[in-house]
Protein backbone atom coordinates (compact mmCIF):
# COMPACT_ATOMS: atom_id res chain seq x y z
CA UNK A 1 0.00 0.00 0.00
CA UNK A 2 1.15 3.51 -0.76
CA UNK A 3 2.57 5.23 2.33
CA UNK A 4 1.90 8.92 3.04
CA UNK A 5 4.15 11.13 0.93
CA UNK A 6 5.73 8.20 -0.89
CA UNK A 7 7.26 9.30 -4.17
CA UNK A 8 6.54 7.09 -7.13
CA UNK A 9 9.32 6.59 -9.63
CA UNK A 10 9.02 5.38 -13.21
CA UNK A 11 11.79 3.18 -14.57
CA UNK A 12 12.05 2.97 -18.35
CA UNK A 13 14.13 0.58 -20.41
CA UNK A 14 14.39 -0.45 -24.03
CA UNK A 15 13.64 -4.10 -24.77
CA UNK A 16 15.63 -6.16 -27.28
CA UNK A 17 12.79 -5.84 -29.83
CA UNK A 18 12.94 -2.01 -29.69
CA UNK A 19 9.83 -1.48 -27.58
CA UNK A 20 10.08 0.60 -24.44
CA UNK A 21 8.87 -0.73 -21.08
CA UNK A 22 7.98 1.55 -18.19
CA UNK A 23 7.31 0.39 -14.63
CA UNK A 24 5.91 2.51 -11.82
CA UNK A 25 7.77 1.53 -8.68
CA UNK A 26 5.58 1.41 -5.60
CA UNK A 27 2.40 0.42 -7.45
CA UNK A 28 2.56 -3.35 -8.00
CA UNK A 29 1.76 -4.59 -11.48
CA UNK A 30 1.94 -1.23 -13.23
CA UNK A 31 3.92 -1.88 -16.41
CA UNK A 32 3.34 -0.40 -19.84
CA UNK A 33 4.92 -0.71 -23.27
CA UNK A 34 5.29 2.05 -25.83
CA UNK A 35 6.96 2.72 -29.15
CA UNK A 36 8.99 5.46 -27.45
CA UNK A 37 10.25 6.09 -23.95
CA UNK A 38 7.80 8.96 -23.55
CA UNK A 39 4.84 6.89 -24.73
CA UNK A 40 5.66 4.06 -22.32
CA UNK A 41 6.10 6.53 -19.44
CA UNK A 42 2.73 8.19 -20.14
CA UNK A 43 0.92 4.85 -20.40
CA UNK A 44 2.45 3.69 -17.13
CA UNK A 45 1.42 6.91 -15.41
CA UNK A 46 -2.18 6.50 -16.62
CA UNK A 47 -2.26 2.93 -15.29
CA UNK A 48 -0.79 4.02 -11.95
CA UNK A 49 -3.39 6.75 -11.53
CA UNK A 50 -6.17 4.28 -12.36
CA UNK A 51 -4.80 1.81 -9.80
CA UNK A 52 -4.60 4.50 -7.14
CA UNK A 53 -8.13 5.71 -7.94
CA UNK A 54 -9.38 2.14 -7.54
CA UNK A 55 -7.70 1.89 -4.14
CA UNK A 56 -9.29 5.19 -3.08
CA UNK A 57 -12.73 3.95 -4.17
CA UNK A 58 -12.35 0.82 -2.06
CA UNK A 59 -10.99 2.63 1.01
CA UNK A 60 -7.57 1.01 0.62
CA UNK A 61 -5.78 4.35 0.40
CA UNK A 62 -6.25 7.55 2.34
CA UNK A 63 -6.70 10.66 0.16
CA UNK A 64 -4.16 12.57 2.25
CA UNK A 65 -1.52 10.02 1.19
CA UNK A 66 -1.60 11.45 -2.33
CA UNK A 67 0.42 14.34 -3.63
CA UNK A 68 0.75 14.33 -7.40
CA UNK A 69 3.69 16.19 -8.87
CA UNK A 70 4.76 15.58 -12.44
CA UNK A 71 8.21 16.44 -13.66
CA UNK A 72 9.35 16.43 -17.23
CA UNK A 73 12.16 14.00 -18.01
3-state secondary structure of 71: coil
pLDDT one-digit tens code per residue, 39-51:
999 999 999 989 9
Please count the structural domains in the chain: 1
CA distance 7 to 22: 16
pLDDT one-digit tens code per residue, 18-46:
999 999 988 889 999 999 999 999 999 99
- Inside any domain, residue 67: no
Considering only CA atoms, give the Rg of the chain. 13
Q: What is the CATH number of the domain that holds 19?
A: 3.30.160.20
- Inside any domain, residue 69: no
- Inside any domain, residue 70: no
CA distance 67 to 8: 10
23-27, 29-33, 58-62, 63-67 — which is least confidently predicted?
Answer: 63-67
Q: Biggest alpha carbon distance in the chain?
A: 41
22, 32 Cβ separation under 8 angstroms: yes
Amino acid sequence: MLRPMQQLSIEVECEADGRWLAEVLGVPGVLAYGATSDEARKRALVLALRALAERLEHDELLPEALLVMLDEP
